[in-house]
Amino acid sequence: MIHPPARTTRRGDLPVPGRRRPPDSAGAVLRAILDHGPIARSSVARATRLSAASVSGVTASLLERGLIREAREAAGPPGIGRPHVPLDIEAGRVAVLGVHIAVPRTTVALLDLRGQVLAQRQDLHGARDPQSVLTALAERVAALRRRHARRRILALGLATGGWVDAVSGTVVEHPPLGWRDVPAAARLAAATGLPVFADTNSRALLRAEQLFGASTEQARRSAVLLFVGNVVDVAFSTGGVIHQGPRSAAGAIAHLPVEGCCETCSCGRTGCLQAAVSERVLVRRAVAAGLIERPDIHGIVDAARAGSPGAAVLLQERARLVGRAAALLHDLFDPEVLVVAEGGANRLPECLATVRAQLSPDVAATVRASSFPDRVLATAGGAVALDQLYAAPL
């Protein structure tokens, strides 16, 4: 049994880097413009059930802040009263930054307000201690901002695995990295001067599905997101609200027991889901079998796509275990959509089919791959910031 180090910080002492605000009417207007833009003010009023005067006031503020723009084409006849100029999201002059901390590497990305990844870079960690990783991240963020200096950066979102307290922006526990009580958002806020928000991989990606995904309607009603990388975590939502839990600890599924796994988990036991399906284990097996040259999950997926039976078997085994976890989650939550963000299912239809095959046939079609298969990590970080923007933009 591994004994975790004693806590050096009480969570109540940690600084609050960014106030998470509940959705407001300005957020409703901005989301209506995201969903339907270019859209006339009168249509925004109908979509949001706000008064014309409220919409007019909010859109004036959103225009002033540079979050929306007036589209060129005028929808009404010229010269009669105020022209009906449609509104759209400003995709050109503003952006957010997304940061993702994985076990072997970091991702730093620039995203526009439609969630499109404009630029990203990935770097392997040097040292893995929080100070080294966050210092290196701040330098990469600064470099990315210099290259895109014409864009105004509104906020920075941070996503990572383990237990993240979204209220204080603290990585409470990340056992594979050995982190505990790291005020990551506050440190990045101090280094960048930006508002910084943090959350888990799965909650971040569920927010992205709700804002920009392939099935936003279902994802906004009820959804489960299962993230599988080197860490495994889950998020679920009903009525558009993602459950955080009073300690921000909801979704810890890493140590779900699975049969036939003899890998040692970060908790010291064997037979945990996270150890059985982690990329680290998969890559080690693929390297040992001579299936891949570069040690990463994408190499295994590429090999399977190129026809390697060994790579396909490894991914199918993982898909079967992931599917059994998905089946359990479906039984618990009965969501309209269950998104599996996993390297194989994201890019190989046969892996998604194996995941689905673990559920009963009448609900198997609710399982989807990520809407962002080639940019999952960049999207996760950015979505944490964009979710805040679309909740309360003013």
Residue numbers of the site for Zn ion (CB under 5 A)? Answer: 255, 265, 267, 272
Decide whether 65 or 255 has the Cβ nearer to Zn ion. 255
**Which tokens hold the place of 335?**
């969501």
Task: Collapse the DSSP code of 31 into the 3-class scheme (helix H, G, I; strand E, B; otherwise coil) and give the result.
Answer: helix
Decide whether 131 or 270 has the Cβ nearer to Zn ion. 270
In the chain, alpha helices (H):
25-36, 41-48, 52-64, 130-147, 184-192, 201-212, 216-221, 273-277, 279-288, 297-305, 309-333, 343-347, 349-357, 376-391
Q: In the bound complex, what is the minimum distance in angstroms from residue 266's beta carbon to Zn ion?
A: 6
Strands (DSSP E) contained in 102-246 are 105-111, 117-124, 152-160, 163-165, 170-174, 179-182, 196-200, 222-228, 232-238, 241-242
Q: What are phi and psi of 163, to 5 degrees?
A: -105, 115
Decide whether 136 or 267 has the Cβ nearer to Zn ion. 267
Task: Collapse the DSSP code of 55 into the 3-class scheme (helix H, G, I; strand E, B; otherwise coil) and give the result.
Answer: helix
Q: In the bound complex, what is the minimum distance in angstroms from residue 391's beta carbon to Zn ion?
A: 34
Decide whether 272 or 341 has the Cβ nearer to Zn ion. 272
Decide whether 268 or 309 has the Cβ nearer to Zn ion. 268
**Separation of alpha carbons 6 and 393, rounded Å:** 39
Decide whether 76 or 271 has the Cβ nearer to Zn ion. 271
Decide whether 26 or 253 has the Cβ nearer to Zn ion. 253
Torsion region of 248: left, alpha or beta (phi above 0 gives left; psi -120 to 50 gives alpha) = left
DSSP 297: H
Is the peptide bond between 38 and the residue preceding it cis, with omega within 30 degrees of 0? yes
Query: What count of other Cβ atoms lies within 10 Å of the Cβ of residue 54?
Result: 17
Maximum CA extent, the chain: 77
Instruction: Please enumerate in sequence order all residues whose Cβ is within 8 A of that of 9, keeping only pairs 6 or more positions apart, or say none.
Output: 181, 183
Q: What are phi and psi of 92, to 5 degrees?
A: -100, -45
Decide whether 265 or 367 has the Cβ nearer to Zn ion. 265
Q: In the bound complex, what is the minimum distance in angstroms from residue 273's beta carbon to Zn ion?
A: 8
Nearest one of 71, 132, 337 to 224, comparing CA atoms: 337
Nearest one of 201, 242, 200 to 221, comparing CA atoms: 242
Q: In the bound complex, what is the minimum distance in angstroms from residue 233's beta carbon to Zn ion?
A: 13
Q: In the bound complex, what is the minimum distance in angstroms from residue 252's beta carbon to Zn ion?
A: 10
Q: In the bound complex, what is the minimum distance in angstroms from residue 200's beta carbon to Zn ion?
A: 17
Q: In the bound complex, what is the minimum distance in angstroms from residue 330's beta carbon to Zn ion?
A: 22
Q: In the bound complex, what is the minimum distance in angstroms from residue 202's beta carbon to Zn ion?
A: 17
Q: In the bound complex, what is the minimum distance in angstroms from residue 203's beta carbon to Zn ion?
A: 21
**Separation of alpha carbons 211 and 214, rounded Å:** 10
Decide whether 55 or 261 has the Cβ nearer to Zn ion. 261
